[in-house]
Structure 1
Amino acid sequence: MFYILFPLFEDVAKPLIEDLIHCKNGLLFTYGVTGSGKTFTMTGSPGEGGLLPRSLDILFNTIGPFQAKRFVFKPDEKNGMEIQGQVDALLERQKRDSQQSVPKTPSSRQKADPEFADMISSEEARKFENVDEDCCYSVFVSYIEIYNNYIYDLLEDAQFDPIRPKWLGGGTPVRNNEFIAPQSKILREDQNHNMYVAGCTEVEVKSTEEAFEVFWKGQKKRRIANTELNRESSRSHSVFTVKLAQAPLDADGDHILQDKNQVNVSQLCLVDLAGSERTSRTRAEGSRLREAGNINQSLMTLRTCMEVLRENQICGTNKMVPYRDSKVTHLFKNYFDGEGKVRMIVCVNPKADDYDETMLVLRFAEVTQEVEVARPIDRPICGLAAGRRHRNRAFKDELSSRLDERGDPNNAGKSPSNLYCFLPSLPNFELVDPADDQSLPRLIEILERRHRFTLICFFLTANTLKSMFQQFDGQINAKETFLHAQRCKLSEKEKVILSQKTELERLEKKSKTLEYKVDILQKTTDMYEQDKRSLRQELETRDQRLQRELTDRKRMEQRMQGMVTDTKFKWEKECERRVNAKQLEMQNKLWVKDEKLKQLKAIVTESSGVGVFPTERPEKPERPSRERDHNVGQMRSASPSPLHTGLPVHPMHRRSHSAGGEKWVDHKPSSNLDLDTVMQPILPNAIKVSTPNEKALSKCQKYVLRHQELASDGEIETKLIKGNVFKTRGGGQAVQFTDIETLKHECPTASRFPSFICFCFSRKRGSGSGDGAAHMEDIENRVS
């Protein structure tokens, strides 16, 4: 990337400085994509100064001998200037010097900053010749930035707040590394309809070094950030304003006229616009994305204003220009309306990746070249007769030369005729009245003195005069010899001092360079530290996420193991139940087959004429008689049925456990079927309901639910689900289930007796009972 700053300054910036001295405003701003060199063009680097230091240098070289003392000009907080008297300015300077806490800016008589000296061209000091010598000048500078469409003063010293210290970027460092965010400023309009920043700090400077030091102080507070396209990308638009106040001198050329209306104020704004960028390339996120959006929006508003101005100029329309959509265009509204000259420097990056954005920038520059606005007539500088300062200086020089020539003792001893030069001079006046009692006595006195001196000179001999003159010449020669020796010593001392100053300047220059490098390294270190903190935070976040995932995985493994265990236990129970059911079914089939064989044997015996009454029967296979499920799990027990011999008996049937003294709620849904079996559950103290209700539950202590479902063999199975009723703390009723009884309706297989139908009702109970076996034995006896 190549930069040609000197021709650029001569053609663009130098005419604006000349207009500034002649009471005309100017605006110079750099425009381009991010990373195209806008900040470098404005500020430059050590060894090659940019537009800003060159402009300050030529300005102070021109008005340096004609600057007013400090605090003679004072800002009136309304974009104007006031003139203070000599006494007020002196008191203001003494007050400033007495404040130890306020850092003093370097005086114009101090040595130039070596770092800044590198940023100024090594050529001779350039200046303008056509400056008005009958005016006094004073320079004020201010530095602001426009960040996220808010205006901040970069020269403002923020006060420390011990209660709520915070840092929002662009603040002033205070103790314990805490920061206070600066307050945003507002735009106002002065009496001449010019826009200005209200409450902005304006610093009076007297030299180029002092002005650049103020600029560097604000530059350190400017917001910059690291992006994918630029390591130190400007995140805000910066505006460095140079304001020049000038006022004419009085008739004697010694003091400034104390008239505010005679003060002329002109300003030059040097603007470093932030570069336009595409988020797809910079990959900005969070605050960087918001900054990029505001930057692009303000630049788009600037383009829109230029296009509307061009359209009004070409088409003759009078569309309203949207200056207020952005703080940048609103601040420079007066310049775009013709109040001063506007110059734009387009910075181009030759990278191929920036081709599309560079073409947009060049098209915008082409549009701005076609915009023309009418400028108002320049105001003349109000002054008196020209050349007062020059005439007074010439008069003083001539008077000093005459006094030196008259009082030179070297001209006294060369000739006795030269003694008459010591005669009292005659007054220059004209006598018009012989009765003048003031001029005549004075003239008589002077003539008498001249007569006495003439007589003394006449009576002195030549030898006496010669000796006197020789003695006087000897004294003069001795003084001249002594003076020559002192001058030689002084020249040697001056050589030593000059060499020491040269060495000191070299060391200061080296120190400034090292400080500049240290500052750059510190910024780089801060950026790396910030990247390190962000990466560490991201690593910690990922570690926490990984730990959380591991914990969830362990929890999921434990849950799956529990589910596997439960499923395994469930299927083991189910397999056991199915095996028992299959075993019972096979035993039932085997028993049926044995019964058929016995009946067949009995028939065969009867047919042969032998009557045998079966007093014994084969052993019946064991069958579970009751299944009980509790709330803590499922428990199923099988008890064998004892064998009976002889005639069948009908033992007393033991009723269900619900035949106690408690009161029951018999919940029988309307969908249940009446089976008309031999054995039915009897609940004497029961309240029969089809749906449970709180009134019935409050009157009973037990609860039973009759549930019917289809068994695996196709028969209807009835379950009695029992529970205890208790009261809850809220005043309601709750049921805790404690037992399940299963009643199954079984139909035996069809026998060979067509006229006989056998029904078998099996009741599964919790304890072993012989009722079912006795009933089956009774049926067997009757069949036989």
Structure 2
Amino acid sequence: MHTYIYLFYYSFKKVFGVSVSQMELFEHVAKPLVDDLIRGKNGLLFTYGVTGSGKTFTMTGSPGQGGLLPRSLDMIFNSIGPYQAKRYVFKTDEKNSIEIQTEVDALLERQRRDNNLSVPKTPSTRLKADPEIADMIKPEETSKSDGVDDDSSYSVFVSYVEIYNNYIYDLLEETQEDAIKPKWNGGGTPVRQNTELIPPQSKILREDQNHIMYVAGCLEVEVKSAEEAFQVFWRGQKKRKVANTRLNRESSRSHSVFIIKLAQAPLDADGDNVLQDKNQISVSQLCLVDLAGSERTGRTGAEGTRIREAGNINQSLLNLRTCIEILRENQMCGTNKMVPYRDSKITHLFKNYFDGEGKVRMVVCVNPKTDDYEETLLVMRFAEMTQEVEVARPVDRPICGFTPGRRHRNQAFKDELSRRLEERGGPIDPGMYMPPAANTLILSLPSLPSCELTDPHDDITLPRLIEALKNRQRIKQMLMKDYNKIANMMKPVLQELDTSLISKDNFIQEQNGKLIEKDKIIQGNKAEIERLEKKTKMQEHKIDILQKTTKIFEDDKRSLQHELETREQRLQRELSEKRRMEQRMHGVISDTQFKWEKECERRVNALQLEMQNKLWVKDEKLKQLKAIVTESKTPEDRLPPKRSASPSPVPTTTPVRPRHRRSCSAGGEKWVDHKPSSSMDLGTVLQPVIPNAIQVSAPSEKALSKCDRYVLTHQEVASDGEIQTKLIKGDVIKTRGGGQAVQFTDIETLKQERKRKSSEGVSASGDGALTDVETRCSVAVAMRAGSNLGPGLEHHAVTKRRKP
């Protein structure tokens, strides 16, 4: 058994090992996003990986090892803690917008909500208390941002939703269990106000006036500390849907989204109150997403509801991959394909981030188990591809137009005033400007009890209300006395301040005169700078024109050079094509010349043969004439004349008649001799003759039914210009349908060759000329008897046989 190990290499911006701490991970991943949040920019951070790879631990952490979420909350409130606005100064509406209330409206709303929160604190019946953020983060690991604007007021709102089976549920709203919990009346007696079970309702996604996607109807809670925000998160975390699977004991069955929304607005010119201008509000948000892990149903052993949950999880993750791939293709290839954000709630909710409304970061969690090898490869490949998608775009914060340092100047004035009051024996607290007793009274000011009368015989509510009003009246009188005392103390202080202010005004006027002179110098310098800037712009404009002209000339040069190279290449191709054409034409001419030479040679040979045959016929006629003449003479005349050194006459023989060659295949079978009408008789010595054969010019079923064998005579021109004959033979067999079929078994080839013989003995004299008729006749008859085909040529019939 062989084991194969495959190594795959993927590149990432940062790789963290097994021993990396949560603090180090937060410094590299989440801290830059928190800095951008405080500076008014959006951010999205989500964990991605196979189920059981540690995504929830990376996001949440454990006691002593806080994850990215609690550390982000701690850093936010460590940075904006001193600059937070009072509760309910910033108020959310139902259209994903923030409004600003006055201090009076905020105070009234605080009192109204404090009266409605009448549930007393009771001992918890839970076996295990909720973890505190102090337990999650060590004191030496806290972080703080340097980008806080001290001339602005801040407020933090959090919301927590989950996407389960492609539906959105609010984890902070009242659920079935909360709906039947006992409510408390003003007297401290628990009563059940509503025992009807209210199932959670799915939320819908909407688009606000700024084209930002948000969850409509989602509860947004204003928090003032990291502990309060973490408790809100933990309250929703307990409602998140988890299940026990074969791969993970507490497997997340949904995508959870924790949204931190930071609202900030500048202070007014005095640096005391928040500026009442809705256009100056800057809202940024940081989304921390814990994605459910992809899983194979075959490995988890899921059934029923678990299968449907796994299918929806895998489908949403697949749509996320598809959106990222299309964004990458549009950016790298210049295409304009539509990104399918609406196919899944998770991608539709974060559509604005992928379109460039903030930075997106992804933490890929990997489990080194061999069972997750294939799924881990898919996760790594997708994560590597997402690095090529650029979606970050900075968001500019609004500019209020006031001078910076307003809060510090106001605080410095309060400190100076408190110092002078302290010298005169007044209050020390610079925040309240009243004696400690009055401050204590205000802090201990009781809230009004409930004034609702449910029973006509109720004799507790009215006396309690009367007593509370008397206490508030007594406190009011004490406050009036303290304020009168403080006013009397502050009058000389203010007079002294006025005097000092007058002297300071004189000094300021003197300094203003100097400033005016400096301003004139500055104005002159500004005019000179403007002149130089105009001159610089003019020179830059000329440089731009020259650069554009140079670019045009360079483009023309490149285009002409490209055209020249193209024409040269075209000329080279035409020359090479011309050479190839010449070579091809030379070859065609050579082939044609050789063909015509062979044809001419064949025709000359044919004409020579024809002329020799005619000459032989004439010789035969002359011979017969000579015999007749010889028979008519006397015996003496018949004697041949005596000549000295005359050659003996060549004996004459009877001309040989051509005989037909018996075919090698001739036997007792009956043949169908198929000779097409286009066949030519070559007149050679050997000719195939098949006895007991039916000769046809076209095959017919009637002829095939009477015979056992079949032969087809086929003629074609050989490569040497001669005609060769092929005898294609076969057996006639009967078919199942009652017809006949031919199965070819042999091919016999007949070919004619010519060979030129030596011309010795043809001529008796030195010049080769025949002097008389007798000599010519004798020579012709002798040559005919020797070759049977005429002088100078000899014919051979060559037979070749081969199997088809």
Instruction: Give the TM-score of the pair, scaled to structure 1.
Output: 0.49
